[in-house]
Chain A
């Protein structure tokens, strides 16, 4: 059965985040507190890296169940988007990521005080990458870059849980049709199944947020539909978790999110150990 390989230290897998850093990402996205798309995306990446680190934390520290690359594309070039000690590196073992954020911010946050009121507190927020927005959108090139990383990884780890490539973008590629390299990267496979390509679309085109749809009917524009079309279907156990979390799923459900939270993808990953889970 595909997508059932163990994720462990002796059988790690890899995660490649592709981050759109083009000029259009500086546009603000609507909402209560308007934020640039670039800021939304870098926050998402920083949260994903935190979630992965927490998920793989054990007594002795964070285990290298994953090797993770954060690849930025914009300003007509493609490359590592890590800041700080990891700058310039592609796939990095998770334990090193956990130890080396570029900085740790104190963010203030209003939380319920349990008695009906709100109280302001601060929480720490590790930051690995900062928002950048500049130049064009070489998405095609970025997917090809990921292709190289993943291909090399697979030749060294042929039986791993299939690598996951997560592309975060506002959807407007300007170096050709991204559908072709997207199909190519999904034709790569480990013994456990083809590579998974997921997309997070941040957009100011409006419309309601969409999480893990199974059809492109409700999507607001052509970019969203293209990104939906090039996203992999969720493997069955991820679908089951999505259903548990209250999402409506079918066999056609894809790893695509429109203006919504993608961190739940991390929750859907089974680290190590379980034969399978029951509902």
Chain B
């Protein structure tokens, strides 16, 4: 193993990440140009500091053998969940949302940490021998491990971050060997919930479920449970929905997609599209983004940083960023497959899913094709908790890659 050390250290991955962080710092700098007040906040320098810390964390995480994480993960999983619970009493945040711990000079967002611990604990569970068969059975305990943080975070309320956990679950169950058909069946109640608002699409969906059940033929009880759950969800949802008053319905819709609030995020989405579109093919040039400068985008250095970048560097620049992310994610997929140790492979898969979900949803929001959920863009959006967590995730990828031959 030591002979191949230099070959097994994935320097290419590190270069991609450093590039993305660098572009992020520059873009944050450009968003501060609007006024002296925001210049004085020196957010780009702070982000640089977080990057330094994150880089150290990345190396530290990469160097420690993953067997160590395997041993410790149940404890840190519980601790991280407790920190989420404590948020309800000691948390701070804006507009009724309790997402952060105020630690004097900076804020810490425990939901970020929980992503990492959930990946660990799920990987440990799914790598156990009894689960290896890949049937439907291991699903319920795995679901429980993910649903706990999901519920605690959705109550904060932070829909976007909680959905990340669903992405982790799907990706890791797949990697653990579950058949795509079974994966579909297990997630079908959630899809049924969405389809239930449109009768014809729901009926088509139910037919698909029946077909899949027929083809994959799980045990009778499982079949009945899946079918009945789908059916019940499809019938009850519209009835409950109609029982709500219009204002209550609206509140739920705005929770699912903040872009529906035309005075708040809805306006941001328009401005984001204008920023990107007006950038054109080559962009307006660094520090020449008018949308950015005039501060039309309230969250331009955090959730909407991609639009800010796209305005200044155009289609070409945006495609380069997307390409860098694509390389990073495909690399993650590859590392997950390479690893001979099952736990390590699962961790890499979970990490990749988190990064991919964030990138896809964040860019999708900026482009106006996804509901506004408030997820940051990895490595680029301003924010210490998010940046350091993402660096730790990359550290895990490096870790697995470094020891891929180990069993």
A binds B: no
